[in-house]
Structure 1
Amino acid sequence: MPHLALYTFGVLKSPLAEPSPLTREFYAAGEAVYRTIGQHPGYLARAEPAQGDRGVLFGADWGAWGEFAVPAWYDKGRTADTTALAATLSLWTGLRPAFDAVYAGLHRAALNRRQDWFERTRHPSHVLWWLPEGTVPTWQDGVGRLESLHDHSPAPHAFTFHRAFTPEGAATRAGDQAE
């Protein structure tokens, strides 16, 4: 049975290392969201650095998830002091569980605050794609598919929750998918 990969990417208004109240709020919300999502039905795994270093993305050991990568349009810092982005890479059993986790509960509350934390861009903030069971997506996979989604319309190899596809390539809606 295929699994679903989800890559999210956003450019923050300020670096992760900045000690502002908004940065602290973002971290606090993120930690709570990760705990909740990690217990959501259909959640399989997410990319985490081996050392668990908060705010360290570039140069961290991500194991099977590969070297950390970002879209070409990211033009801010790449050091622990200057990085101003949030990215996730996760694996799910299906479209409906991922949709439910993203658009409900703590994550939904965090999405409602995204204008406080993230810059507005003309780029997509997430991309989904199917992969064979047992396959671990890499950061580069996510970046490539997000860039493809930006350059082209959603398609079976790179799509969104609102313009989704089944593993067989048929158009669908995330809310219509049952497990």
Structure 2
Amino acid sequence: MHLAQLNIAHLRAPVDAPELAEFVALLEPVNAVADESPGFVWRLKESEQDPTATVVHGYGDHLLVNFSVWESLETLWNYVYRSAHLGVLRRRREWFLRMAEPYIVMWWIPEGEIPTLGEGMRRLERLKTQGPSPEAFTFKDFYDSSEAANLPAAAEVRK
């Protein structure tokens, strides 16, 4: 099984605003670190040609989406907290509004499967409304892949 993760953030301004210029400049190098990290499988990209292009979606203005798949919790953790990504993460309050509700969700998927953004948003909503479960969890409230395998409810969340 592989680990899918979705996180969202509300930008303080439009992505092309001067106050976000430094963040936008950091997108390409930080995404390159992810792409080259051990255990990285896939991430949603808006453009193969423009590494600074943010994902366009219909989920709200100024909502930044980061969506990826990793081989394991350890490989995702190492990227988030033990790479150059951590320096950018520590500065998130400069560019993003504080969120009172869950903004990250993880779930297990079969190897070779690529989840949709719609599925990720439904799992985030499930986490918000029902709390952590094997279908939708966080680093803090983590479920092992064995707990998520063969869950009958997983198919309904994918729709």
TM over 0.5: yes
AA partner of residue 125 (structure 1): Y
- In the alignment, is the contact (CA less than 8 A) between 1:3 and 1:132 conserved in 2? yes
- SS of 2:145's equivalent? coil
Q: 1:141 maps to which residue?
A: 119
Aligned residue pairs, count: 147
AA partner of residue 3 (structure 2): L
Q: 1:102 to 1:51 in 2, by over 3 A?
A: closer
Q: Quick one: which of 81, 89, 100 aligns to 1:122? A: 100
- Structure 2 Cα separation of the partners of residues 55 and 47 of structure 1: 11
CA RMSD of aligned residues (A): 1.7
Structure 1 unpaired stretches of 5+: 59-67, 78-83, 171-179
User: TM-score under structure 1 normalisation?
Assistant: 0.76
- Structure 2 Cα separation of the partners of residues 48 and 56 of structure 1: 7
Q: Is residue 38 of structure 2 the alignment partner of residue 41 of structure 1?
A: yes
Deviation at 1:55, TM superposition (A): 4.0
Structure 2 unpaired stretches of 5+: 149-159
- In the alignment, is the contact (CA less than 8 A) between 1:8 and 1:125 conserved in 2? yes
- In the alignment, is the contact (CA less than 8 A) between 2:54 and 2:64 conserved in 1? no
Q: 1:69 to 1:44 in 2, by over 3 A?
A: farther
Q: Is residue 12 of structure 2 the alignment partner of residue 17 of structure 1?
A: no
- Could you report, residue by residue, the CA deviation over 1:39-78 in whole angstroms, capped at 9, with x for unpaired residues? 11100111112564544533xxxxxxxxx453xxx4xx3x
- Could you report, residue by residue, the CA deviation over 1:66-92 in whole angstroms, capped at 9, with x for unpaired residues? xx453xxx4xx3xxxxxx222111111
- Could you report, residue by residue, the CA deviation over 1:4-63 in whole angstroms, capped at 9, with x for unpaired residues? 101110000000021x1x3111112222110111111100111112564544533xxxxx
Q: 1:62 maps to which residue?
A: none
Q: 2:55 maps to which residue?
A: 57
- In the alignment, is the contact (CA less than 8 A) between 1:15 and 1:85 conserved in 2? no
AA partner of residue 95 (structure 1): L
Higher mean C-alpha displacement, 43-52 vs 88-97: 43-52
Query: Which runs of 4 or more aligned residues in structure 1 lie more than 6 Å from their structure 2 counterparts after TM superposition?
Result: none
- SS of 1:169's equivalent? helix
- In the alignment, is the contact (CA less than 8 A) between 1:130 and 1:157 conserved in 2? yes
Q: Is residue 4 of structure 2 the alignment partner of residue 5 of structure 1?
A: yes
- SS of 1:162's equivalent? coil
